[in-house]
Amino acid sequence: MNQSFYKPKCCTAAALCLLATLNLAVAADDDAYVVTPYRPTVSTPANLSTPGWLELETGLQSLGNPDSSRRDSLPYSVKLALTPDWGVRIGGELLVRAPGDFGARATGFGDTSLVIKRRFALDDTSALGLEFGANLPTGRNGLHSGSGGSDYTVNGIYSSDFASHWHTDINLALTHTGQTDAGSERQQWAWAASLSHDLGGGWGLAGELSGLHQAGAANARQWLLAASYNPLSALTLDAGVAHALGGNGPSWSVFVGATLPLAKLF
């Protein structure tokens, strides 16, 4: 295959996709649409996106493993709020490139997640949320983001705005894993606590601590730092880095991404 022939085509396709993305964001911005990003933090907010709109989150992510290997992926999440308090989303990885057998790199489609979400407003500045999700092993061996089996999760959320331009999201989730290593239980607890600050001018900063606990396996923890920018009310761009604080998971990760509307359904 002549790579020099295909690179211009790939660049052209990427440029066309970017232009289409910006057109969608500009069109929605004219209608005073405001995106509700869940990425790039591990925790998700209690609030849902604007009812009736399909909202897309996507980006690029690279994970570094303790053995110096790397896992690159193109994550996505499509959200639809049916009402201000009920919503659904589907997500996963459109493309994964990870270490395979015999030192080769495997490439393919990743796992797929389905989530139903309920929001409970407490007052004008805080809310609770409850998510019921399933992660399905649609990726081939070596490209799974979950256990490799069907994983089912219940996630409790608390979100609040406080002080001046500060926001926090706290999550506690319990997952029943479809597969597990010998000696480990199928129940896995996950927690995440993020703190973000609106800097003005469309800029924001976020920090987060998160972790995993599974009996019979090493605990995992990480910190995350990210920046975001809103060139339009209908478009949020983000970038950041995360680093492990122990455990046998990825040592580090870097990511960039965007949140934008796709279409108005009702």
Does any domain span residue 94? yes
Distance from C-alpha of 130 to C-alpha of 182, rounded to nearest angstrom: 31
So what's the pLDDT on residue 24?
60
| Residue-number span of the structural domain to which 59 is assigned | 34-264
- The answer as to whether 73 is a domain residue is yes
Residue 24 lies in a domain: no
Q: 202-228: buried (b, 16+ CB within 10 Å) or exposed (e) per residue?
A: eebebebbbbbebeebeebebebebeb
CB burial of residue 256 (10 Å; 0-12, 13-18, 19+): middle
What's CA 152's distance to the chain center, in Å? Answer: 17
- Number of structural domains (the chain) is 1
Query: 59, 257 in Cβ contact below 8 A?
Result: yes
Sequential DSSP letters for 30-61: HTT-------SSSS--S----TTEEEEEEEEE
Looking at residue 30, its pLDDT comes to 52
Q: Residue 48 falls within a domain, yes or no?
A: yes
Return d(Cα 170, Cα 226) in angstroms, integer.
17
115 in any annotated domain: yes
> In this structure, is residue 127 part of a structural domain?
yes
pLDDT at 148: 86
Give pLDDT, residue 21.
58
3-state secondary structure of 216: coil
Sequence-separated (6 or more) residues with CB below 8 Å from residue 16:
none
CA distances from residue 197 to 22, 200, 260 in whole angstroms, order as listed: 25, 9, 20
Look at residue 109 and tell me if it is in a domain. Answer: yes
Helices (H), the chain: 3-30
Residue 18 within a domain: no
Q: What are phi and psi of 16, to 5 degrees?
A: -65, -40
Q: Which residues of the chain have pLDDT under 70?
A: 1-31, 100-104, 247-249
CATH number of 75's domain: 2.40.160.40
Q: Under 8 Å CB-to-CB from 74, ≥6 apart: which residues? A: 58, 59, 60, 61, 93, 94, 95, 96
- Token pair recorded at residue 33: 């649409």
